[in-house]
Amino acid sequence: MGNFAIMTMFQTVGEAWLELQNDADAEARAAAIVYLGDNRYAPAVPHLAELVRQSDPGTRYLAAKALGQIGDEAESALPTLLDALRDNDIFLRAGITGALIKIGPPAVPGLTKALFDPSSAVKRAACKALGKIGCERAVPALTFSLRDGNEGVRRFAREALERIDSPAARDALKGG
């Protein structure tokens, strides 16, 4: 469905919100999710977070993307997004990582914790997000990740520290 079709389907965020609440068919639900994200409709955050837990991968991805568009006002969805980061679907993980980056600094504590997840894929996604957010609070955990057993995690941690580019990050890179 193109952006024009989405724009003409709903005249207000209220209409899109109502459509989503009424458990619309898949196409209308997708359009409502996109519309709510595009309009940064923060009251939809709890419902969008719930949609991230659905079984349909497309719905999950769109809901994660919408939460990212809402930005730091979607902070209450962080536990759901961080949990979904463990999903095997790399498309979904990419969407979740993008959402966490857009939520920004409020996501840093959860992403830092994710660096200690058993899954290398989760750790790589967390490194990527932390590097893009650029928060110096993540430097100690990223420094620890430079010694991870997985080369990909080490590479992503190195790239994240390079992006952060603080004195502490540069020191970590000299030693790592």
**Residue 126 neighbours by CB under 8 Å, 6+ apart:** 85, 111, 112, 114, 115, 117
Please say whether the beta carbons of 82 and 49 come within 8 A. Answer: no
pLDDT confidence tier of residue 3, bands split at 50, 70 and 90: very low
Q: How far apart (Å, rounded) are the C-alpha atoms in residues 13 and 44?
A: 10
- Any idea what the CATH number is for the domain that residue 19 is in? 1.25.10.10
Q: Which residue has the higher pLDDT, 23 or 91?
A: 91
Distances (CA, A) of 84 to 12, 35, 49, 92: 30, 22, 10, 8
Each residue's pLDDT tens digit, 21-62: 666 678 888 888 888 899 998 999 999 999 999 988 999 999
What confidence score (pLDDT) does residue 160 get? 98
Last residue of a domain, one of 71, 103, 135: 103
Q: How far apart (Å, rounded) are the C-alpha atoms in residues 112 and 61?
A: 22
What confidence score (pLDDT) does residue 134 get? 95
Q: How far apart (Å, rounded) are the C-alpha atoms in residues 161 and 34?
A: 33
Q: Are residues 94 and 134 in the same domain?
A: no
Q: Which domain holds residue 135?
A: 105-176
Q: Are residues 48 and 118 in the same domain?
A: no
Q: How far apart (Å, rounded) are the C-alpha atoms in residues 173 and 161?
A: 7
Q: Are residues 94 and 113 in the same domain?
A: no
Q: How far apart (Å, rounded) are the C-alpha atoms in residues 99 and 94?
A: 9
Q: Are residues 49 and 129 in the same domain?
A: no
Domain count, the chain: 2
Which phi-psi region, left, alpha or beta, contains residue 23 (left: φ > 0; alpha: ψ -120 to 50)?
left
Q: Are residues 12 and 84 in the same domain?
A: yes
Residue range 92-98: mean pLDDT, rounded: 92
Last residue of a domain, one of 103, 123, 156: 103
Q: Are residues 48 and 92 in the same domain?
A: yes
Each residue's pLDDT tens digit, 103-138: 999 999 999 999 999 999 999 999 999 999 999 999
Q: Are residues 125 and 145 in the same domain?
A: yes
